[in-house]
Amino acid sequence: MATQTHPEVDCAVIEAARQRPPLDILTATLRDSSTPTGSKGLQSRWQEGASSPRQDTPWKFETLKSWPAPSSADLRGPDEEMLEELVFCLPLAVALLGPDLRAQATKGVKCGGVLSAPSGNFSSPNFPRLYPYNTECSWLIVVAEGSSVLLTFHAFDLEYHDTCGFDFLEIYNGASGDQGNLLGRFCGRVPPPPFTSSWHVMSVVFHSDKHVASRGFSAGYQKGKGDLAVESVALGGVGRVAGANVCGGVLTGLSGVLVSPEYPNNYPNNAECHWVIRAAGPATVKLVFVDFQMEGSEQCTYDYVAVLGGPGPTQGHHYCGSARPPTLVSLGHELQVVFKSDFNIGGRGFKAYYFSGECQEEYTAVQGNFSSPQYPSPYPNNLRCHWTIRLPPGYRVKVFFLDLELEEPSSLTRTCDFDHLAAFDGASEEAPLLGNWCGHHLPPPVTSSHNQLLIVLRTDRSTTRRGFSVAYIGVVPMNVSCSRTDFQILISAQALAPLERTKVYLGSRSCAAQEMGSNFRIQARFDTCGTESQRRNNTSVIVSVLYIDFSAGGQEDTHEYEVRCEPRRKEASVHLLSGSRWLGPYAATAEHLQEASPRDEAEALEGPVAMVAQDTSDVVFLGLCILAGVLMVVAIVVLMLL
């Protein structure tokens, strides 16, 4: 979208109508608000998808009429500056009308529009008298790029309902067609708190039904500070603070960012901000601090951040100083954050991300699957989502990608600069990066080095796709070796706690594991425990199946691993067979699980028995041969002496 360069032309006076089908045509009229009404204007028809004389818009322009008529000295036709302004306003009208025409005002009721002045006011129809029935109005507020929109309410009186299902006002961080941008829905007589968008566009939708009318609302907006909005656009957050005098608000998006006033500069004295982060339904809210520097005191009585609604005392946790607070998860569907500073000594403040609803989950089951918000429908814009897999100590996490369709890489850098999915080898984004993906090519499975793995989805403010679907399984690290006659398997008992040894067996339950120190051990000859000889790739191998039974509460859940040995080379391997019915296309292929070297596996197992798995048959045989030779030499010497 081009930057508005002529503020005297106000997009608020645009008149638009959209025509469907067979052609997607927009007829727009623009008048210059700096001149007497009707003295200067331009009416044009724009057809979407046709060839365009401008590279920054996909619309074909056709002039219907302009006024005043061009003079003989100026044969260019419509005023070029007004044409530039109409090109700027056109995408706003398209967004306002929308493909479903939802935002058009009710016939006979004049309301809604595009507001592009640096500041202004608007209200419900007939305000302060009763608003009409069956009315829907939409305002699209657009300020200069690089700025934010600050929205405040002067009066508010709508029909009350517990879930605001009758008459309501909706506020969006961007266009109203994307539910991922919804900041909140309001009704009753309590005015909404001030809201600040994360970029230069905000939408407000007013709706009334056919019963009960009230006085309505009156609101004002102004352009916020540009230096604060730019970072928020890149991060995809909502609810940015526009300045020291305005902060806080109700945040209902799936994800966003909170910062102290004036961040990253020092926060002002005597400031107080209240945020309420509210998840939809019974979901929880997660808050992650990425930067924190405030005045310190023993009881945090001067400057502090208080978080209420999480675990701990009902009065909440207070944080100050320079130590970052831990990651906090709400007990219910709401988390409150309070920032307060006193009359002297400040600091840089704080920056934190929040995640709610289907945009943040923690998985502790040994296996599971999850997907992007709204999958397989397109995911929302402006998201930053966290999914944490946290298994018992000793496990590794293996993630399989079942479906992936995100925005394609940048055509310039060929890297994932826009929407992308990332995996981290730990519980935070500070852990080592396992991979970063976009587009539609399925990545190979990834495996953590410990028992935690984090999946992060980040989306920008445009272009959405189907999203992703993944499945994971807890991989049990094991040391498998073989000789010419038997298998030896070692598994850390810690990885399988609280399973009993009888739940781990080779071939049949009669070949259950034995406890040796802190490990489970299975040693079985090839002629026992269901082993069989097979030929694979013209090579003779010995094959058996290792069972780990996680079944509980009547729910069958047994993981099967194929244990394989090539006796001639005494090389062993293990492969996942089942326990993975939800792996889609991966279920048909055996994924190799012994990714670490035998030495690394042995170091991961506790106790001195870790090295029992090595093969000693050749050493014993060689020792016997040497002993026999020595005895023969001794016998010959004795006979010669006699």
Which of 28, 6, 24 lies closest to 16 in space, CA to CA?
28
User: Tell me: the pLDDT tens digits for 548-600?
Assistant: 888 887 878 788 888 999 988 888 888 877 554 545 444 444 343 333 333 33
For the chain, how big is the Rg over CA atoms in Å?
34
3-state secondary structure of 634: helix
pTM over 0.75: no
Residue listed under structure tokens 């045509």: 25
**pLDDT value of position 530:** 82
Q: What pLDDT band is residue 233 in, cutting at 50, 70 and 90?
A: very low
Residues 6+ apart with CB under 8 A from 392: 451, 474, 494, 495, 497
What's the one-letter identity of residue 576?
A: L
**pLDDT value of position 240:** 31
Average pLDDT of the chain? 76
Residue 198: C-alpha distances to residues 125, 202, 278, 540 (Å): 28, 9, 18, 64
Asked if residue 431 has pLDDT above 90, the reply is yes
The per-residue DSSP string of 5-39 comes to --TTS-GGG-EEEEE-SSS-EEEEEEE-TTSSTTS
Q: What is the DSSP-derived secondary structure letter of residue 263?
A: T
**pLDDT value of position 21:** 37
3-state secondary structure of 603: helix
**pLDDT value of position 239:** 34
Q: Higher model confidence: residue 517 or residue 2?
A: 517
- The rounded percent of the chain whose pLDDT value lies above 90 is 31
Nearest-angstrom CA–CA distance, 268 and 103 = 40
Average pLDDT of span 410-427: 92
User: Tell me: the pLDDT tens digits for 510-541?
Assistant: 999 998 888 899 999 988 888 888 888 888 89
Q: What pLDDT band is residue 441 in, cutting at 50, 70 and 90?
A: very high
Average pLDDT of span 621-640: 82
Q: What pLDDT band is residue 106 in, cutting at 50, 70 and 90?
A: very low
CA 157 and chain centroid, separation: 36
Which of 268, 434, 401, 251 lies closest to 340 in space, CA to CA?
268
3-state secondary structure of 168: strand
Asked if residue 98 has pLDDT above 70, the reply is no
Which of 134, 171, 156, 151 lies closest to 215 in space, CA to CA?
156
- The rounded percent of the chain whose pLDDT value lies above 70 is 71
Angle at 424 between CA 420 and CA 430, to 5 degrees: 105
User: Tell me: the pLDDT tens digits for 350-386?
Assistant: 999 998 888 888 999 888 999 999 899 999 888 889 9
Structure-block tokens of residue 171: 């506020």
Average pLDDT of span 94-105: 41
Q: Higher model confidence: residue 146 or residue 399?
A: 399
Q: What pLDDT band is residue 612 in, cutting at 50, 70 and 90?
A: very low
Average pLDDT of span 309-328: 78
